[in-house]
A and B are shown apart, each in its own frame.
Chain A
Amino acid sequence: DADVTQTPRNRITKTGKRIMLECSQTKGHDRMYWYRQDPGLGLRLIYYSFDVKDINKGEISDGYSVSRQAQAKFSLSLESAIPNQTALYFCATSERTGKNEQYFGPGTRLTVT
């Protein structure tokens, strides 16, 4: 969905490096999410934010941090990347109420060597 964009789309980095993945949305949604996808494991929630001042840990937040710079921007950081953080990362947004339909970005493929 072009309304949710992620940069970069692909990234290869070395163990120990700091890396930031960025997400922007034009849907005007309050809620934003970061997931990682691993083969056979589906999507797992890393962090989510209900508004600019509200940040919450998800299922697998260790080794990650986030920043909600504005309603439209939510970035994910790996302070010191390790190989088992190699995965496909998705950002998503949703409205505050209703059926919680989430709109996903195209994903960032991250490889840590």
Chain B
Amino acid sequence: GEDVEQSLFLSVREGDSSVINCTYTDSSSTYLYWYKQEPGAGLQLLTYIFSNMDMKQDQRLTVLLNKKDKHLSLRIADTQTGDSAIYFCAESSNNNDMRFGAGTRLTVKP
């Protein structure tokens, strides 16, 4: 089946930038997403990018998409302790289902 892969852990200092990377295999992906999961909670959509775009910026968040390499990244500028969470990359190749990565646990140290 199609896969979505991301590293499991990332640790940064407060105020630094965080970059979370993701690779996927489905070349027909239409939308790519970043979800955030805080402890004891469900997933919340942070941002998404349509496959014909290569960058999207939303306040402190920047999403970069390299469709040729099937690589997606999420950059969080000026990372705060409240950004500590698990971040999931996901992709959807049609309107039917979504495939998730295993999640990257971001730890922000003061």
**Which residue numbers of A lie inside 8 Å of B, CB to CB?**
1, 4, 35, 40-45, 48, 58-59, 90, 92, 96-97, 99-107
Complex partner residue of B40 from A44, A101, A106, CB under 8 angstroms: A106
User: Interface residues of B toward A: which range?
Assistant: 20 to 34
The answer to whether A100 touches B44, judged by C-beta atoms less than 8 angstroms apart, is: no
The answer to whether A104 touches B103, judged by C-beta atoms less than 8 angstroms apart, is: no
Interface status of B42 (Cβ within 8 A of chain A): yes
Given contacts A42-B88, A43-B88, A43-B100, contact A101 B48 (CB under 8 A): yes
Interface status of B8 (Cβ within 8 A of chain A): yes
**Residues of B with C-beta under 8 A to A99:** 31, 48, 50
The answer to whether A100 touches B92, judged by C-beta atoms less than 8 angstroms apart, is: yes
- The secondary-structure label for the interface of chain A is loop
B53-93 vs A, Cβ < 8 Å mask (1 yes, 0 no): 00000000000000000000000000000000000100010
B93 nearest CB across to chain A (Å): 10
Across the A-B interface, how many residue pairs have beta carbons closer than 8 Å?
53
The answer to whether B31 touches A100, judged by C-beta atoms less than 8 angstroms apart, is: yes
Interface status of B98 (Cβ within 8 A of chain A): yes
**Residues of B with C-beta under 8 A to A58:** 97
Nearest opposing residue in chain A for B6, CB measure: A42
Interface status of B102 (Cβ within 8 A of chain A): yes
**Residues of B with C-beta under 8 A to A103:** 45
